[in-house]
Structure 1
Amino acid sequence: MKTKLILLLVSVFHITLTKAQETAMSSAEITSFKQTVVAEAQKIKTLKTDFVQYKHLDFLSKEITSSGSMLLKNPNKLLWKYNTPIQYGILFKDNKVLVNDQGKKNKVDLGNNKKFEKINKMIIGSISGDLFAADDFTITFHKNRNQRIAKLSPKTKELSAYIQTIVLYFNDQQSTVSEVQLIEPSKDYTKIVFKNKQINQPISDALFSF
């Protein structure tokens, strides 16, 4: 009986690993994938989605979980609103970034801060998938049973100081990003999972404010 149970557990473990195993895409698969994703990203005028964010820190036994919503309106409006566990917002608008930390507001001019400008472009590109032409990254493409995966490694020291790798996950049914993982040089990481995504639905400019 014990032997059968052990064999069953080994079998299940093997199946689980097989499902999650990543393999490199072929050249033909990469070309087709990039063309599809870029074409879909170029069609995006507005995007609204809920998200759950998981922050992993080595010195904590559990991940820090937060949730909220995100609004994107091309070409220059992006709003992140965290609702739990605290209310926190980040607004990129008209070449400026505004942070609202539970009522305390700070503003940064992106024109005078190249770091924030690059981060803004990186975030928008990560959400839409339109990062494949970026000169700042080396990109490799992978797949598993249910997902296509793009891994982006920064080439510049400026970005490498904050991000080691950006991993974009695409479900087979979607050509927009379903999950983003931002891995830091310390190996800590942030994982953002998008859900209830709505593309090209009307979004009022008035919503991009605190």
Structure 2
Amino acid sequence: MFKNIAFIALLLISGFAFTQNTAMTSTESKAFVTKISAETKEIKTLQSDFVQTKKMDFLDKNIVTQGRMSLKSPNTLSWKYTKPYQYSIIFKDNKIFINDQGKKSSVDAKSKTFEKINKLIVGSSNGKMFNDPEFSVAYFKNENFNIAKFTPKSAQLLKYIKQIELNFPKNQTTVSQVNMTEASGDTTNIVFKNTKINAPIPAAEFSL
């Protein structure tokens, strides 16, 4: 019996180890950054469907929402949630514009936590996110992804964000998944799919 348990445990450990991320070497990380930075300079627009999963300690069930993300160079970004509710948030001109099921408002985007995520996503479309002075970056890889983990440098930002992780599939230069861990331990996972690059985006996508 003990041998069987030990064997199963060994399989689990082996499987776990197989999927673990490993740190890139200095040469690998430089090549990765150079490749992403060069290829994303050609991106003028980007649009993708997304599924967002929010895990909070005080809730038994995860909060799952769906929608569409639209990006226009150099720094205009729109998140439009369509399920299970209608909610839009647009970043442009250093402001956040919000439409919460018909109730519209705007606020200054500076120093807002979510604005930092959007800054990295916008940066991921032009290669500038690796030089963001507000974060230190560590690079990892596994069988399917190259991964950039961003850790805030300032104590002020660390009060809200512990880490933001951007996942790049080995065969593409745009982000397919974002994982954010807040200081509280709550996590947000965003998975992008049906991504279109440099396709025309209607102006309505960036308005409320």
**2:16 is matched with which residue?**
17
Contact 1:129 1:177 in 2 (8 A): no
Once the two structures are TM-superposed, the CA of residue 80 in structure 1 deviates from its matched residue by 0.2
Once the two structures are TM-superposed, the CA of residue 54 in structure 1 deviates from its matched residue by 0.6
Q: After superposition, where does 1:1-210 map in structure 2 within 5 Å?
A: 9-10=8-9, 12-110=11-109, 114-116=110-112, 119=116, 120-125=118-123, 130-210=128-208
RMSD: 2.3
Contact 1:169 1:178 in 2 (8 A): yes
State the SS of the aligned residue for 1:115: coil
Once the two structures are TM-superposed, the CA of residue 94 in structure 1 deviates from its matched residue by 2.9
The separation in 2 between residues aligned to 1:5 and 1:51, in whole angstroms, is 42
The separation in 1 between residues aligned to 2:152 and 2:187, in whole angstroms, is 15
Instruction: Pick closer, same or farther for the CA change 1:60–1:176 going to 2, 3 Å.
Output: same
Once the two structures are TM-superposed, the CA of residue 130 in structure 1 deviates from its matched residue by 3.5
Once the two structures are TM-superposed, the CA of residue 53 in structure 1 deviates from its matched residue by 0.3
Gaps of at least 5 residues in structure 2 are: none
Identical aligned pairs, as a percentage? 47
Contact 2:41 2:127 in 1 (8 A): no
| Structure 1 stretch displaced more, 58-67 or 12-21 | 12-21
The separation in 2 between residues aligned to 1:68 and 1:127, in whole angstroms, is 19
Matched residue type, 2:165:
V
Give the alignment's TM-score, normalised by structure 2: 0.88
The separation in 1 between residues aligned to 2:120 and 2:183, in whole angstroms, is 17
Matched residue type, 1:131:
M
Gaps of at least 5 residues in structure 1 are: none
Once the two structures are TM-superposed, the CA of residue 103 in structure 1 deviates from its matched residue by 0.6
| Structure 1 stretch displaced more, 52-61 or 7-16 | 7-16
Contact 1:49 1:196 in 2 (8 A): yes
The separation in 1 between residues aligned to 2:31 and 2:157, in whole angstroms, is 28
Moved over 6 A (4+): 2-5
